[in-house]
Amino acid sequence: MDIQSIKNRFGIIGNAPGLTHAISIAERVAATNLTVLINGESGVGKEIFSHIIHQLSTRKHNNFIAVNCGAIPEGTIDSELFGHEKGSFTGANDARKGYFETVNGGTIFLDEIGELPLGTQARLLRVLETGEYIRVGSSKVMKTDVRVVAATNVKLQDAVQMGKFREDLYYRLSTVPIYIPPLRERGEDVYYLFRKFCIDFAERMKMTPIKLSEEAKLLILKYPWPGNVRQLKNVAEQVSILAIDKEVSAAELLKIVPDITQSRVPMVSKENFVEGGGSFTEREILYKLIFELKKDLNDLKQFVFDVIKNQQIPFDAVAHPNIAPQIQESKNSFYSSEPTIAPIHIPNSESKPMVLDSSHKFDEHEMVEESLSIADKEKELIIRALKKHRNKRKDAAADLGISERTLYRKIKEYGLED
């Protein structure tokens, strides 16, 4: 059966590539007995995919049951799934078959699988691996032949890391994973679904279906639809009832559904700038880089000024009326917003002292050729600091007056990692 025939048979609207791919996987895996894990946000239609898998399989003539694991109390879920014996707990007046017994030979859809208690997860793992289970209050091992299709709207990997979901069960369930994209990733499908819901509602109510103006259409396409298909259907029916005109304008749509003005464009959130705090948009990355560059520039300013301040100058520059103001100006510039460095020459220890006599006319705009670059001096100071603190980079960075991040980068830049 081709993809379009499956869409028509199960009433699926849309041509988004992600949706088509999900249907393709469901169609191919249906003929097998493999366990399937359907991933997707709440309201995307995960249960429809469980019906596709069951109806296209060899089990289609046997029973199918959908179980919402999050809606069953923890104290009774074992009884619901595996059954119980008479007197096994308070209120157990009779023996009762569980879902795995009544659906033997068919398919069971476990929605919100992440809500299962850990004890029930262990029982389910045994059923998946051996087909065996034990009723609550019994010691007799029973067999079943049930295909399990599970679904979740949370990341089970995160639940595994937090100890709320068994890792072995996760890998056993996700033999074939299927991801259903949310509405915000399906483009024009949003409008097609909205129109379909309006037409279906109008037929049930025996009324003329509404239409959207171009501006109103743009509004529903830009809205992120956090409740997905379920929310879209509710809005379509709400607008169908409350709209005065059969062609709904953007203004009228906003009066009925004010929240629809929200855009899909992501906003910069404070949490995104926390180290390891998740993914970034391009704009957020740019902001973060600007902040980091500003911090690095301040560190570099402080570092260069410390080099100048700690350097031994072999002539009495402070006494010279033209040079002393430049030194002070250079010092002040490192703490100003403009990274301006006065042209001061700092000779090394091997160079001959510079002697200035009273007849020498010093041009304050004259640039004296440097005999030692800042980079060489920076490398030397980093080596000395690391040696002083026995390669403890945190202490060395504090001694140099720079951040650890800057020190790590400089060590790599100068090849000092060994």
239: closest CA among 263, 266, 257, 261?
257
Read off the pLDDT band of 377 (50, 70, 90): confident
Rounded to 10 degrees, the C-alpha dihedral 24/25/28/32 comes to -160
User: What are 96's strand-pairing partners?
Assistant: 84
CATH number of 184-261: 1.10.8.60
Residue with more model confidence, 384 or 286: 384
Q: How confident is the model at residue 217 (pLDDT cuts 50, 70, 90)?
A: very high
* Nearest alpha carbon to residue 125 among 161, 171, 160: 171
Q: How large is the average pLDDT for residues 300-309?
A: 67
Residue 34 DSSP SS3: coil
> CB under 8 Å to 387, separation ≥6 — which residues?
none
| Residue 241 one-letter amino acid | I
What share of the chain in percent tops pLDDT 70? 74
Q: In what order do the strands lie in the sheet with 64-68?
A: 64-68, 107-111, 147-152, 36-39, 176-179
- What is the residue whose two structure tokens read 């059954």? 83
User: Is residue 237 predicted with pLDDT exceeding 90?
Assistant: yes
The 3-class SS string of 140-170 reads CEEECCCEEEEEECCCHHHHHHCCCCCHHHH
Q: Could you give the 3-state DSSP secondary structure of residue 120?
A: helix
Q: How many CB atoms lie within 10 A of CB 359?
A: 5
- Lowest mean pLDDT of 20-24, 53-57, 166-170, 368-372, name the range: 368-372
Label residue 248 by pLDDT band (50, 70, 90).
Answer: very high
- Domain 3-181, CATH 3.90.25.10 — does that match? no
Domain ranges within the chain, ordered by starting residue:
3-181, 184-261, 282-413
Q: How many CB atoms lie within 10 A of CB 368?
A: 12
Q: Who contacts 127 (Cβ-Cβ below 8 Å, separation ≥6)?
A: 100, 133, 144, 146, 148
Instruction: Locate 206 and state its tokens.
Output: 């025996």
Which two structure tokens, joined as six digits, stand for 63? Answer: 């029973």
- 271: confidence class by pLDDT, cuts 50, 70, 90: very low
**What is the Cα gyration radius of the chain?**
36
Instruction: Classify burial at 138, counting beta carbons within 10 Å of its beta carbon; exposed 0-12, middle 13-18, buried 19 or more.
Output: middle
- Whole-model pTM? 0.61
135, 136, 220, 301, 312 from 95: Cα distances, Å: 9, 10, 52, 80, 94
Q: Which amino acid is at 341?
A: I
Burial class (CB in 10 A: 0-12, 13-18, 19+), 164: middle
- Which ranges of 355-403 does DSSP label H, i.e. alpha helix? 374-388, 393-400
Q: How many CA atoms lie within 13 A of 366 on its CB side?
A: 9
Q: Which residue has the tokens 């996700």?
A: 174
Measured in degrees and rounded to the nearest 5, phi and psi for residue 196 equal: -65, -45
Closest C-alpha to 200, from 250, 253, 240:
240
- pLDDT tens readout for residues 112-145: 999 999 999 999 999 999 999 999 988 899 999 9
Output the pLDDT for position 209: 93
CA separation for the pair 133, 86 (Å, rounded): 17
Q: Give residue 347's pLDDT.
A: 46
CB atoms near residue 238 (< 10 Å): 13
